[in-house]
Amino acid sequence: KVWDAVDTGCCLNTYCCHSCAVRAARWSSCGRRILSGGFDSMLHLTDVETGKQIFSSKNEFRISALKFHPTESNILICGGFSPEVKAWDIRTSKVLRVYKAAVQQTLDILFLPEGREFLTSTDAVSRDSADRTIIAWDFQSAAKISNQIFHERYTCPSLTLHPKESVFVAQTNGNYMALFSAQRPYRINKKKRYEGHKVEGFAVGCEFSPDGTLLLTGSSDGKVFFYNYHTARIIRTLSAHKEACVSAIFHPVLPSLLATCDWTGEIKIWQ
């Protein structure tokens, strides 16, 4: 569904191209297309105006994470219920590269600046260390750069990159967000930990404000937490939903607008 979020709040259009649950949807950089993937293992790139599929392809696994390459708009990466992550070229409808790891599921994908490297968070947690919880990949060669980035025994359902500094944040199922360097060897910042919200097994998303001063996250108790990025202190909380708030995101152009959604499918726009 595409909504008029600013003025009327009405649903403008509904696109019925999937036969099972849609797990991930992304706007193209031009804003005229939507990339979607889900549990029917299909990838679709839909023209927003006409509703026609520009690109459709059958994947070999159920999709749970999608990302466009930050500088090459015709390339996308998808991951899901598989040990593989795939890079696709929309122009040829073919797989460019396959990234393999000994995991069962990819939870999230994050490109680092310039797109030469990217991170995947996975469900792989061993008893004594978090081997392969976050994996860094070389995009061109498909080689693993590092799989020893996060050593706590928690999975990380969401990753987000700071808009101005070379750092990224991982949401963890330990009910806190961890801060890492976005440059090799991707060291964790042990002095900063953003805690106070609850994750409790939900795929709770996190995001920086456009100016990078705030870190935003949902919470399994339905609240939204605003953290000061520099001090890691909670600035304020918003009682947004009755059910688990799984995503909270700033408007890319109007930073005073905020969208939140909960586990039951309710979406709210906040001023």
Q: Where do we find the tokens 């509703």?
A: 51
Boundaries of every domain in the chain? 1-155, 157-270
Question: What residues form DSSP beta bridges with 37?
Answer: 24, 43
Equal fold, 1-155 vs 157-270: yes
Please state whether 116 falls in left (phi above 0), alpha (psi between -120 and 50) or beta.
alpha
C-beta neighbour count of 213 within 10 angstroms: 14
What six digits make up the tokens of 215? Answer: 């870190």
pTM metric for this prediction: 0.92
Predicted local confidence at residue 253, as pLDDT: 85
Percent of the chain at pLDDT > 70 equals 97
pLDDT tens figures, 33-63 = 999 999 999 999 999 999 999 999 999 999 9
30-35-36 Cα angle (round to 5): 160
Q: Where do we find the tokens 């100016």?
A: 211
pLDDT at 128 > cutoff 60: no
Q: Quick check: 50 and 62 in contact, CB under 8 A?
A: no
Q: Quick check: 241 and 259 in contact, CB under 8 A?
A: no
pLDDT tens figures, 184-213 = 999 999 999 999 999 998 999 999 999 999
CA 170: distance to chain centroid?
Answer: 10
pLDDT at 124 > cutoff 80: no
**CATH hierarchy code of domain 1-155:** 2.130.10.10
Q: Which CATH class is domain 157-270?
A: mainly beta
Burial status of residue 212 (CB atoms within 10 A of its CB: 0-12, 13-18, 19 or more)? middle
